[in-house]
Amino acid sequence: MKYAAITKRLAGLGSGKWALHIEGRRKAAAGIPVIELTIGEPDLPPDPMLLAECARAMQAGRTRYSNGRGEPAVVDALVRKYAKRRNGVTSRNILCFPGTQTALFVVMMGLLDAGDEVLAGDPSYATYEGVAAATGARLVPVPLRAKNGFHMQAADLEAAITPNSRVLLLNTPHNPTGAVLSASEIAAIGEICRRYDLWIVCDEVYEELTFDDRFASPFDNPDLSDRTIVVSSISKSHAAPGFRSGWAAGPSEFFDHLLPVSETMLFGVQPFIADMTAMALTQPIETSSIMRANYRARADLLVDRLSAHPALKPYRPEGGMFIVLDVSGTGLNGNDFATRLLEEENVSVMPGSSFGEGARDLVRISLTVLETSLEEAARRMLCLTERLAS
């Protein structure tokens, strides 16, 4: 049988990057006590108030078709959220989607054609290559260097631009490195985007998880408002990834063009989840501040324990749910270290290569488990490292 070219372009870009995670789950299912540090799933449940609102809305009949832009209450809540960050935001600047991932996919469908290029940090979130490839575009890496704290540099961005460059896909706080861009770094990057007429798609799914409250966004910079689209969700901020509730915020003219694309694919999102999302965005809920404190403390713990061995180099994150560890001092790259760690010590981590060639010496460790498990995982990483050194 013949399939469309998109299936070839995306082959291996889906679960292929998660092979070690899947192997860890297989071991665990076979009864082996694996410490799973692979995926970025919040370890708290959603606030009970949100679950009650979702159930109430379902019982109240909020189970009918919605509309393509989003339910009025959640669109209104998003207008208020983004109007605090920039003047002049209206409902025409908002589109709702089932999660950041879908928002990314549809936004890219609206910006890119075959042969175009998308610039993104190397390393970057594992699905970016796929959302670019789905459109027929190509992901072009911009090196994120450890010596710069993995912060994208305007000069590195400019060096990667070609006549085919259309979009810069930014992510702050950054997955996997935890880098949080400053307003001045964003201004310098934005200046390059203006000079080369690039769109900026900024993935802000970890906005609420900066460790020192220093979040900045190109959306908030009036000089960049005509070319910036933010994508985000309540997946991380409200520990609700399974609800699939996200959005895009950006220029009204682009969204008028994008709406039929979104409608063709989705025909709206679920009203009862929209009601819960409206509540999440308007009520004081502590989930993200609890996670922020937990993840920061857990990152500190791992930096302390792992830097005890000279062959290991942990990089303290500035936000998000992960920490990256340079394992090249052990003589192994990230993939081989992660494979042996799972085989010999029953700890699953993500190999850096799942996030780009630039991260081949790294592994990514999720901070979403209790301190006792992280202590034990660190002990096992040190055991493997000792064995490799002897």
Ligand X SMILES: Cc1ncc(COP(=O)(O)O)c(C=O)c1O
Asked if 335 is part of the footprint of ligand X (rule: CB under 6 A), the reply reads no
- 351 vs 17: CA distance, rounded Å: 9
Site string for ligand X, 13-52 (x = CB under 6 A): ---------------------------x------------
CB 138 to ligand X: min, Å: 20
β-bridge partners, 172: none
Binding piece for ligand X, criterion CB under 6 A, among 99-107, 265-273, 275-283, 290-298: 99-107
Binding piece for ligand X, criterion CB under 6 A, among 97-105, 132-140, 259-267, 306-314: 97-105
Inter-residue contact 230 to 249 (CB < 8 Å): yes
Among 205, 216, 229, 281, contact with ligand X (rule: CB under 6 A): 205
Among 38, 66, 93, 100, contact with ligand X (rule: CB under 6 A): 100
- Asked if residue 176 has a cis previous peptide bond (ω within 30° of 0), the answer is yes
Asked if 241 is part of the footprint of ligand X (rule: CB under 6 A), the reply reads yes
Nearer to ligand X, 207 or 326 (CB): 207
Inter-residue contact 177 to 352 (CB < 8 Å): no
CA-based R_g, the chain, Å: 21
Among 93, 233, 366, 385, contact with ligand X (rule: CB under 6 A): 233
Asked if 99 is part of the footprint of ligand X (rule: CB under 6 A), the reply reads yes
CA dihedral 357, 363, 368, 372 (to 10 degrees): 180
Asked if 101 is part of the footprint of ligand X (rule: CB under 6 A), the reply reads yes
Nearer to ligand X, 235 or 294 (CB): 235
DSSP 10: T
CB 319 to ligand X: min, Å: 11
Site string for ligand X, 293-332 (x = CB under 6 A): ----------------------------------------
Distances (CA, A) of 73 to 4, 79, 246, 272: 39, 10, 14, 11
- 279 vs 65: CA distance, rounded Å: 20
Within 91-190, strands assigned E span 94-97, 117-122, 138-143, 165-171
Within 8 A by CB and 6+ apart from 8, the residues are: none
Asked if 171 is part of the footprint of ligand X (rule: CB under 6 A), the reply reads yes
Asked if 334 is part of the footprint of ligand X (rule: CB under 6 A), the reply reads no
Give the footprint of ligand X on this chain (CB under 6 A). 40, 99-101, 125, 171, 175, 203, 205, 233, 235, 241, 246
